[in-house]
Structure 1
């Protein structure tokens, strides 16, 4: 091949090569939580996480008293019922909440400034207490009101007060994240970056350390007036601070005129929005998170079981579509979240492990797996390991590859 031609190709494609590397850096090498728990700011205290865990264990003890009973209620395969039941109980003891969001938006509402100021300070202090005691979920933060004109000053004020409390207590961690609600324009993302720059400077926090999620719950976030989706531009405008795109089930559905009875995570408008979100986030290292169901496992035994079955099905549906995170709004949703998630990984382990082992060792699994599929298989196993559905001893036995080897297969940095 003519070296001059190759040099010309390098010159012509230099900008495209640089853009591909910059815009699509791949996996960030950090754990994605399987859910985000929302707690209204006025109900949050340093005891909230423990209370959620206690309530989740209580409802499971009352309505899913044994592996056999839970298997009947949630139609668990006999071969996985006991192991899922035991692992869910262990999870509710060890790490009941993976990601906590203290809500100053819809879950809190519009209140006098003096009242929200006090709530922001109080909630910030309570979270700092949890963090410094080593009792906070690995991911934690707050949701602020949108940067639309009516709520802009209020959202920024709450953020400033909250972060100041954490910074003063030495409790700003790498797991801290902010959710920006009801985003409608790329300009709001650019403005958020300006806000975070100022908050960091005021509190003596390292530049670029504050991260945020974009809540996708308006039509304008999915389709701009020019007929294109603004989500890729929003991610770019975040200047490396955007960590997630979170779907808002009910605001988005309502804004498209969907009747309340049909607003759901599985409505066609929801699937379309999340498809766009997945496309926009692919290769960027930005996580995609599904929304919530507002059907709560409360009331009679029959009502709890029905709500669990619905939640389990919706969680499984998201997992099968490659969306590995969703919202939980009530402690009684934790059992069905973990049951659905653990069963997903337990059921898929044997086949995924066999295919990975054959890929690594050059054997025959009955599948002709290419590198991209091997990366997906390794990613599946790593996610199961991180949430507690799987353990390293199983992986050593079934695959013969350690966590570092799985990370390399998954084309990602080692995860924390």
Structure 2
């Protein structure tokens, strides 16, 4: 036994109490504005289908078309790996998981589009399409064929289309209620937001619907689509998107970058409108910082280069899409848009390769951290949070299996979730 240290203090207990009292409003503000990630699954992509094209078999049809594209243009693991530059170690695991995903869950998030992908239609036609979308989604949820997340994108809150957008939303949500209630995976997307006041107005609209049907307050959330320069930088020089998150009053669930509308707004020539353009990187970086800690997730945009035509053109489009998806993942944009069935094989290939190639290292680091075993990297709670979040995302999308994660980490999913959602103060403390 070593010498016992004498512990002495100089400050009266009242000093700590006074400090805590003075910071109580800040503590409450931190909890309100920065609650942290919700801990729920985030889909790896969103598929947009025009309201008039959405059908009962859309999800299965996309999966079948994607499988047919693989059969025609990359019929085995070696040929697919050669197109994308996958290593020999990743080729078979990625290819087999991609095919399995396309067979069992080809779309993770589907948005029936009543905005740009649908365009202006006679009111009666759009009414029928919105009611039909509600019925088909309700049917899919009942029979087990729904995507984990489904919903609509209505027209925006600008004056020219505001009433039409409100009516479409009302018809759709009312149809869901009449068909058995709102599904758990319901997602609504508000496009072309320019002012925070438009976000607040949309929140009021959802609040009115909840009251009309006796729903719990806050039951309806929504994504904000970032498609204008004004949504990033306001006239007073502030970051509008940060104000939009607060204007949603807790209802904002995501920020979706609109590649082509945003690029066009800045005057980027059509040939250079892409998700890796410097203007896109700037917008998404602002979105990412504004959303950090708020529980609002950021989604990348899309590519409009479709994998169609002869095999050489399909391969070129696949390489482009795969590269853009991997680039986004490295920048912590874990979701993006897909515009064509031919995009989803490379979406899943990129996602699965991203999680599988870093799996063993991440699992080993987290295991050493959990066991306080040390190693060649000194990880802290914030890094443990990132490592467990990485593994959880890999599990959610199907890139990893819980058995292999447990084998390398010795941890359960509940353990991973505990590391992924530490208490706020834990992140400022160094790992012991």
Tell me which interval the TM-score lies in, with the shorter structure as reference length.
over 0.9
Instruction: Provide the residue aligned with 2:6 in structure 1.
Output: none
Instruction: Provide the residue aligned with 1:116 in structure 2.
Output: 126
The equivalent position to 1:384 in structure 2, one of 362, 370, 394, is 394
Q: What is the deviation of 1:317? A: 0.3
Gaps of 5+ in 2: 1-10, 424-432
The answer to whether the Cα contact below 8 Å between 2:50 and 2:114 also exists between their aligned partners in 1 is yes
Residues 1:131 and 2:141 aligned together = yes
**Higher deviation after alignment, 159-168 or 200-209:** 200-209
How many residues end up aligned between the 2 structures?
413
Instruction: Provide the residue aligned with 2:426 in structure 1.
Output: none
Instruction: Provide the residue aligned with 2:428 in structure 1.
Output: none
Q: What is the deviation of 1:232? A: 2.1
Q: What is the deviation of 1:29? A: 1.7
Instruction: Provide the residue aligned with 1:157 in structure 2.
Output: 167
Instruction: Provide the residue aligned with 2:361 in structure 1.
Output: 351
Gaps of 5+ in 1: none
Tell me, in whole angstroms, the C-alpha distance in 1 between the residues paired with 2:269 and 2:278. 13
The answer to whether the Cα contact below 8 Å between 2:322 and 2:347 also exists between their aligned partners in 1 is yes
Instruction: Provide the residue aligned with 2:105 in structure 1.
Output: 95
Tell me, in whole angstroms, the C-alpha distance in 2 between the residues paired with 1:365 and 1:4. 43
Q: Aligned-pair RMSD on alpha carbons?
A: 1.1
- Measured at CA, do residues 117 and 351 of structure 1 come closer, stay the same or move farther in structure 2, by a change above 3 Å? same
Instruction: Provide the residue aligned with 1:245 in structure 2.
Output: 255
Residues 1:18 and 2:28 aligned together = yes
Tell me, in whole angstroms, the C-alpha distance in 1 between the residues paired with 2:13 and 2:244. 40
The answer to whether the Cα contact below 8 Å between 1:27 and 1:412 also exists between their aligned partners in 2 is no
Residues 1:187 and 2:225 aligned together = no
The answer to whether the Cα contact below 8 Å between 1:29 and 1:412 also exists between their aligned partners in 2 is no
The answer to whether the Cα contact below 8 Å between 2:152 and 2:188 also exists between their aligned partners in 1 is yes
> What secondary structure, in the 3-state scheme, does the structure 1 residue paired with 2:223 have?
strand
**Higher deviation after alignment, 170-179 or 76-85:** 170-179
Give the TM-score of the pair, scaled to structure 2.
0.94
Tell me, in whole angstroms, the C-alpha distance in 2 between the residues paired with 1:250 and 1:240. 28
Instruction: Provide the residue aligned with 2:322 in structure 1.
Output: 312
> What secondary structure, in the 3-state scheme, does the structure 2 residue paired with 1:395 have?
helix
> What secondary structure, in the 3-state scheme, does the structure 2 residue paired with 1:43 have?
coil
The structure with the largest alpha-carbon Rg is: 2
> What secondary structure, in the 3-state scheme, does the structure 2 residue paired with 1:110 have?
coil
The answer to whether the Cα contact below 8 Å between 2:113 and 2:152 also exists between their aligned partners in 1 is yes
Q: What is the deviation of 1:207? A: 2.8
Instruction: Provide the residue aligned with 1:68 in structure 2.
Output: 78
Tell me, in whole angstroms, the C-alpha distance in 2 between the residues paired with 1:60 and 1:227. 48
The equivalent position to 2:417 in structure 1, one of 392, 400, 407, is 407
Moved over 6 A (4+): none
Instruction: Provide the residue aligned with 1:330 in structure 2.
Output: 340
Q: Deviations over 1:133-162 (max 9, x none)?
A: 111001000001110100100100000001
Instruction: Provide the residue aligned with 1:36 in structure 2.
Output: 46
Q: What is the deviation of 1:206? A: 3.0
Q: Deviations over 1:321-364 (max 9, x none)?
A: 01100000111101000000000000000110111111111224
**Higher deviation after alignment, 365-374 or 178-187:** 365-374
The answer to whether the Cα contact below 8 Å between 1:379 and 1:410 also exists between their aligned partners in 2 is yes
Q: What is the deviation of 1:199? A: 2.0
The answer to whether the Cα contact below 8 Å between 2:111 and 2:152 also exists between their aligned partners in 1 is yes
> What secondary structure, in the 3-state scheme, does the structure 2 residue paired with 1:140 have?
strand
Tell me, in whole angstroms, the C-alpha distance in 2 between the residues paired with 1:371 and 1:395. 19
Q: What is the deviation of 1:204? A: 4.1
The answer to whether the Cα contact below 8 Å between 1:25 and 1:283 also exists between their aligned partners in 2 is yes
Q: What is the deviation of 1:263? A: 0.5
Give the TM-score of the pair, scaled to structure 1.
0.97
The equivalent position to 2:158 in structure 1, one of 148, 152, 161, is 148
Structure of greater relative contact order (alpha carbons < 8 Å, 6+ residues apart): 1
> What secondary structure, in the 3-state scheme, does the structure 2 residue paired with 1:128 have?
helix
